[in-house]
Amino acid sequence: MSHRATNWAIQQRGLAPATKLVLWHLCDRHNPDYGCFPSQDQLAADAEISRASLNTHLDKLEQAGLIRRERRHSEGAHRRQSTRYFLAFEPEFSAQAELPLTSENRPDPCPESRHGNGQKPCPDFAKSHVQNLDTNLVSKEPVITTARDAGATREARTEVSADDEGPDLDAADAACLAACGEGMTQTARAAITGTTATIGAWLKAGYDLELDVLPVIGERTAKPRGSPIRTWDYFSQAIAARHAKRIAQAAKAKGAGEAGAGPAVAPGGPAVSPVDRLARLAAWLNSGAYVPPSAVTNSQRDALLRAGLVTEATLRTHQIY
């Protein structure tokens, strides 16, 4: 495998999850010295999709300018060999693409990439290697554990796409991946991108990305794991519990009049309530400006955390424990 290729694949944006998964597995088969020559059977098995679905996603990747396919035949025997895949970051990608089409480099007609010399498309022939659709009888959709998860995923996709004013799912996906620690391997990162709709469901449920979602992901992936995480739904229960606890603590703090004393009166100014003092202190801490540890008392620290105004990570950056 090539770390440069797989890292490049993860950085690509704007692709459907299944298409990005195919790109990642394609890059995982890339050899820095020799290139990329996986068979369709191998790619379909890696991505757990049928060959028909694989060709659809390869076509999308080629149309997006991320890959280019070169059909190869053995010399003299006209026997088909594994396709050579050029990835967009390779020097050969642009250099070869600029060559004019001749009888030497003209590709064979093939419907996946919609190029060729005008001959009849190969799926019309009974023994076509492309027409073998059922080499892998796995659904085109990402693997979903239960019927409940499947319903939630479809509902989340519908809601997120229908709400033009909704959260930026791509940005949230990137933030979640960035929050992952050593416990999320490169293979797990590639697999988990197929369940991005779960992140949309979290945001639709009202979970705060910074206060509820990212802390849980960071905590649960901080150390290497024995079994890989392959779906964002793994974090759902912990995120829901953290959200409920945070809301309950904030409500309790507000009802109790958090700082415990009456409103403070600034010299020559109006009274400042304990809630306002906490809000101003939180704004100072979250601004990134220098805050001396002595400026925050232990009771204020606990109150800020219970109200969900700051995170433990923010306090640690200011050496407040």
CA distances from 297 to 268, 271, 281 (A): 25, 21, 11
pLDDT at position 228, please? Answer: 86
Strand pairing partners for 72?
A: 81
Question: Domains along the chain?
Answer: 3-124 (1.10.10.10), 147-255 (no CATH), 260-317 (no CATH)
Q: What is the pLDDT of residues 39-58, one digit of tens each?
A: 888 888 888 899 888 999 99
State which H helix or E strand residue 264 sits in: strand 264-265
CA distances from 319 to 128, 278, 308 (A): 66, 18, 18
Distance of CA 65 to the CA centre of its chain: 20
**pLDDT at residue 114 above 60?**
no
pLDDT at position 95, please? Answer: 53
Q: What is the pLDDT of residues 203-245, one digit of tens each?
A: 988 899 999 999 999 999 998 888 889 899 999 989 988 888 8
The Cα 255–Cα 95 span in angstroms is 68
How close are the terminal C-alpha atoms of the chain, in Å? 43
The Cα 213–Cα 175 span in angstroms is 10
The two structure tokens encoding residue 97: 């693409």
State which H helix or E strand residue 250 sits in: helix 236-256
- Which of 77-91, 274-288, 302-316 has the largest mean confidence? 302-316
Kindly compute the dihedral angle of the four CA atoms of residues 119, 121, 124, 130, in this order, to the nearest 10 degrees.
Answer: 140
**pLDDT at residue 144 above 60?**
no
Q: How confident is the model at residue 100 (pLDDT cuts 50, 70, 90)?
A: very low
Strand pairing partners for 85?
A: 36, 69
Q: What is the pLDDT of residues 291-309, one digit of tens each?
A: 888 888 888 888 888 888 8
pLDDT at position 63, please? Answer: 92
State which H helix or E strand residue 73 sits in: strand 67-73
State which H helix or E strand residue 280 sits in: helix 274-286
pLDDT at position 216, please? Answer: 94
pLDDT at position 248, please? Answer: 82
Q: 51-63 and 17-28 are packed helices; what angle lies between their axes, rounded to 10 degrees?
A: 90
CB atoms within 10 A of CB 67: 23
Distance of CA 310 to the CA centre of its chain: 26
